[in-house]
């Protein structure tokens, strides 16, 4: 799963679980902040559709991201890579686990 998809997942967690609309997402792995809106990713200059629902469409990859929420946790699948993911958010700190790569990523929103 590519970085841009993980960034969108982190943003969706803030939007849907914590009911906040952040202006940027900070990747701890990349040590870089990226500007996002519910409908646009500045880094890729790509549109995003459905950020507030369970089927997010990322126009950069031309694929859906399934995003299902349960309390402060989430899980789903990135259809561009075929990878499943899971994670949680607490006080703006997001952890995303790429189940296929067995890797964990941290973001602040």
Quote the domain boundaries for residue 15. Answer: 3-108
Domain of residue 77, CATH code: 3.30.700
- What stretches of the chain adopt beta strand conformation (E)? 24-27, 32-37, 40-41, 46-49, 55-58, 63-70, 73-78, 83-90, 93-98, 103-108
Q: Which pLDDT value is given to residue 40? A: 97
pLDDT tens profile 59-71: 999 999 999 999 9
pLDDT at 107: 98
Q: Tell me the per-residue pLDDT of 33-56, one tens digit each, with 9 for 90 and over.
A: 999 999 999 999 999 999 999 999
Model pLDDT, residue 15: 97
Q: How many domains does the chain have?
A: 1
pTM above 0.85, yes or no: yes
Task: Tell me the average pLDDT of the chain.
Answer: 97
């Amino acid at each position: 799963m590519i970085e841009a998809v993980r960034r969108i997942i982190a943003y969706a967690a803030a939007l849907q679980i914590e009911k906040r609309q952040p202006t940027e997402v900070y990747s701890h792995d990349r040590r870089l902040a990226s500007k996002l809106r519910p409908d646009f990713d500045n880094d890729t200059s790509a549109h995003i559709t459905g950020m507030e629902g369970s089927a997010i469409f990322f126009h950069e990859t031309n694929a859906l991201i399934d995003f299902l929420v349960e309390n402060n946790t989430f899980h789903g699948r990135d259809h561009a890579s075929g990878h499943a993911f899971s994670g949680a958010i607490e006080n703006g700190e997001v952890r995303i686990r790429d189940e296929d790569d067995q890797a964990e990523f941290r973001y602040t929103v």
